[in-house]
Amino acid sequence: MAKSSIVIEVDLDENRIPQKIEWSATDSTAANTQPAKAVMLSLWDGAEKTALRIDLWTQQMMVDEMADFYYQTFMTMADTYARATRQTELVNDMKQFAEDFFKKFQEIQMKENKA
């Protein structure tokens, strides 16, 4: 049986705030660790029927990057759900939510920039 590893390294400051996030994977084509400004990791505990999460981001992560990160994550989650379930109506709802979320973010940014 083949095995694959994903390693996420997080440098923390004295207050345990992420300063740097780097990742590597045995199946990656990259030779060195790769930087990231944020990471969301979700694991399903089948015995407890609960999702376990790790959500981290560095102070360098800008608000507009976070909105884009969430938008892309919502869309990817919808695509994954589509492949797993073929429930098109729910997938379309998820994608519509993602679109509405990002549009609303952009509208809020426009208002804040005018103020």
Per residue in 39-93, pLDDT (tens digit) is: 999 999 999 999 999 999 999 999 999 999 999 999 999 999 999 999 999 999 9
Pairing label, strands 6-12, 50-57: unpaired
* List of E strands, the chain: 6-12, 18-25, 34-36, 38-45, 50-57
**Residue partners of 73: CB distance under 8 A and separation at least 6:** 40
What pLDDT does residue 97 have? 98
What pLDDT does residue 80 have? 98
pLDDT of residue 114 exceeding 90: no
pLDDT of residue 94 exceeding 90: yes
Q: pLDDT tens digits, residue range 1-27?
A: 999 999 999 999 999 999 999 999 999
What pLDDT does residue 24 have? 96
Pairing label, strands 50-57, 38-45: antiparallel
Provide the residue ranges of all domains of the chain, joining segments of one domain with +. Answer: 1-60, 62-115
pTM for the full model? 0.89
